[in-house]
Amino acid sequence: MRFRCAVLDDFQNVACAYADWSALGDRVEVVSFTGHFATEDELATALADFDFVVTLRERVSFPASLLNRLSRLKLLIASGMRNSVIDYTAAQAGGITVCGTQSSSAPPLELTWALLLGLARGIVQENNALRDGGPWQSTVGADLDGRTLGLLGLGKIGSRVAQVGLAFGMKVTAWSQNLTEERADEVGVELASSKEELLATGDFVSVHLALGDRTRGLIGAPELALLKPTAYLINTSRAAIVDQDALLAALHEGRIAGAGVDVFDVEPLPGDHPMRTAPRLLATPHLGYVSRANYERYYGQAVEDIQAYLDGTPIRVLG
């Protein structure tokens, strides 16, 4: 029997190039979808004839209502080893094995600093002016040396962001609900006494928290009001941690200097979404994990997951 495997949201059309799918031989036909299916009905129709599905991170939700419609689905592979948009109970009930892959924290770390530096030095504005015959120098850069970097979260990514900040000569503070002084000392940063203190004292504030009940809406209008008018907010974590309407209001009203955002409440962003035209915003289309090395890891290990499943010994099983 020849199985069919769908690769979802392969926007750059690189999934087949970044892994050796030939290792599966003639047992599996691989079909890459370079567009995004916006509705559950579209997904259910597109995936009806597939045995395996490979999905990137949490781009596509797999609730029970969808999984129950995919009667042929046997194996669902999601990049990363944690996924909050898959209904594992429904998958198990439907006899669907869910597997993951390893993921590197380096790409989101690097993008965090790309956004922060881009904002601080007006890179996009100055580049556009240079290319379009605009003014020669129109911005004055914000300094990093001697300024305070506030980190919401000091986990795998946050701690690496801290090390870069220290290398720039920044004072680095951190806070989260469970962060201890011992952990802060271990990383070489100061533990803020509260979320409010971190926001009020930070010149740059960067979000590095997992999304959960305690972090959803953690930064709303009252919290944004604590930021200095010269402060910048960076979010490469999850959109729902920061109230999107409150952030848009702060940007439009000039209550903060700017924001760097890689995550959104709806992805891909609709063409008329207000985030596309917000002032003081440097935004990227969820590129945090999008790098060659990470894609090679994702797709290469997806092939391994399929091989192991076909051999009857699934690996990296989730749920």
How many alpha carbons fall within 13 Å on the CB side of residue 50?
A: 21
Q: Is 238 among the catalytic positions? A: yes
Strand partners, 149: 172, 204
CA distance 240 to 211: 7
CA distance 209 to 240: 11
- Residue tagged active-site, from 57, 160, 208, 238: 238
Which residue type, as a one-letter code, is found at position 232? Y
Question: In whole angstroms, how far apart are CA 132 and each of 125, 128, 129, 136, 257?
Answer: 11, 6, 5, 11, 24
CB 78 within 8 A of CB 59: no
- Residue tagged active-site, from 267, 296, 304, 316: 267
- Residue tagged active-site, from 160, 208, 286, 297: 286
Question: In whole angstroms, how far apart are CA 65 and each of 5, 8, 62, 194, 317?
Answer: 21, 18, 8, 41, 22
Residue with tokens 């209550």: 255
Dihedral of alpha carbons 46, 52, 55, 60, sign: positive
CA distance 163 to 150: 12
Nearest to 150 by CA among 205, 197, 109: 205
Q: Is 267 among the catalytic positions? A: yes
Which residues are identified as catalytic? 238, 267, 286
